[in-house]
Amino acid sequence: MPRKKSKPMSPGALSLVAARFKVLGEPARLSLLNALMQKDLNVNELVQATGLSQANVSKHLGMLADTGFVSRRRHGLFTVYSIEDQGVYQLCDLMCDSIARRLGNDLREIA
Amino acid sequence: MPRKKSKPMSPGALSLVAARFKVLGEPARLSLLNALMQKDLNVNELVQATGLSQANVSKHLGMLADTGFVSRRRHGLFTVYSIEDQGVYQLCDLMCDSIARRLGNDLREIA
DNA sequence: TTGCTATATAACTATTCAGGAATATAACCG
DNA sequence: CGGTTATATTCCTGAATAGTTATATAGCAA
């Protein structure tokens, strides 16, 4: 039973939305966000939390900041990052729900 | 003021979630989903609705079906697709909200 | 100033992947 | 059966981009 709720998106809105989903679609960036969801962290702490290289972390953080998902503030030598777009919590929760449903459906198909 | 709500995701969960976000992160696929959000459509109708080539549409539909976002049923010669994962409605709504907030913030920064 | 640490950026490489062209498969009709 | 339509798939090429290495910038301390 289809739901047919939301209004259709314009082509412009579509590419904006897609671009934003794509930012969340990289494991490295999602890993950074995941770490920041626990507490604000500086770059070196994020390097240790994720196991990524410093250059790679900085690059992805730059992209996350440019797209407004995180914000940064300097604290002496350090740059501390925090979640800026609180929507990422719900987005990740929803996606996890979606995966849980999918796993349940798959199991049913096998059985 | 940070929120710190969700529990941290395991590396395995992270890559699953990222992979799923990535599926939504392609304009062509999001466009197909957007069309299907209005009503179920067959491949040729989706070709016309999106302006994409038939091969391209079939390929993206295959990926959307493999990941459980859409389902397909054959109807004679036609294959009719429909939204299977109802979560895409909320996901798109949330992302649109996120964009709206971001645009508002940007304007405030300029002013 | 020099030196040190933290972070950002630039240049390069390698991989991923979207799109197109051609072909294959499937389902119907005569 | 052959023919036609609808859809799927295969192969290829080009563009986008993640990751590495090296370097640059920023801030602090002596």
Q: Is A27 within 8 Å of B18 (Cβ atoms)?
A: yes
Question: Inter-chain contact A30–B18, Cβ cutoff 8 Å?
Answer: yes
Domain-located, residue B97: no
Q: The tokens of A95 are what?
A: 């996606």
Strands, sheet with A70-75, edge to edge from the N-terminal-most edge strand: A41-42, A78-83, A70-75
Q: Kindly state the average pLDDT of the residues A93-108.
A: 88
Confidence of residue A107 (pLDDT cuts 50, 70, 90): low
When divided into structural domains, chain A yields a total of: 1
Residue of B13, B21, B86 with shortest CB distance to A3: B86
Percent of chain B past pLDDT 70, that is, above it, reads 89
* pLDDT for B47: 98
Is B75 domain-assigned?
yes
3-state secondary structure of A37: coil
What per-residue confidence (pLDDT) applies to A1?
A: 54
B65-75 CB burial, b ≥16 within 10 A, e <16? eebbbbebeee
Q: Which H/E stretch holds residue A88?
A: helix A87-110
CATH number of the domain encompassing residue A80: 1.10.10.10
The encoded tokens of residue B110 equal: 């300029």
List the beta bridge partners of residue A70.
A83
- Within-domain flag for B99: no
At B61-72, the pLDDT tens digits run 999 999 999 999
> For residue A5, what pLDDT is reported?
57
Q: Is A55 inside a domain boundary?
A: yes
The predicted structure's pLDDT at residue B4: 57
- Between CA B55 and CA A22 the distance in angstroms is 23
In a domain, B7, yes or no: no
- Asked whether residue A71 is domain-assigned, the answer is yes
Q: What is the ipTM of this complex?
A: 0.92
Q: What's the rounded Cα separation, in Å, for the pair A20 and A87? A: 12
**Mean of pLDDT over chain B:** 92
Does residue B39 or residue B4 have the better pLDDT? B39
- In degrees rounded to 5, what are phi and psi of residue B105? -65, -40
Q: In the prediction, which pLDDT does B17 show?
A: 98
| Residue that wins the pLDDT comparison between A104 and B93 | B93
Contact A21, B98 (CB under 8 A): no
For residue A77, how many other CB atoms are within 10 A of its CB? 6
Query: Which bases on strand D have an atom closer than 7 Å to a protein beta carbon?
Result: 5-10, 17-22, 26-28
Q: pLDDT for B8-30, tens place per residue?
A: 888 889 999 999 999 999 999 99
Instruction: Give me the mean pLDDT over the A45-58 stretch.
Output: 98
Which residues of chain B are within 8 Å of residue A41 when distances are taken between CB atoms?
Answer: none
Q: Is residue A96 part of a domain?
A: no
Residue A51 inside a domain? The answer is yes
Domain that holds residue B19: 14-85
Instruction: Return the structure tokens found at A11.
Output: 């082509």
Q: Is the pLDDT of residue A62 over 80?
A: yes
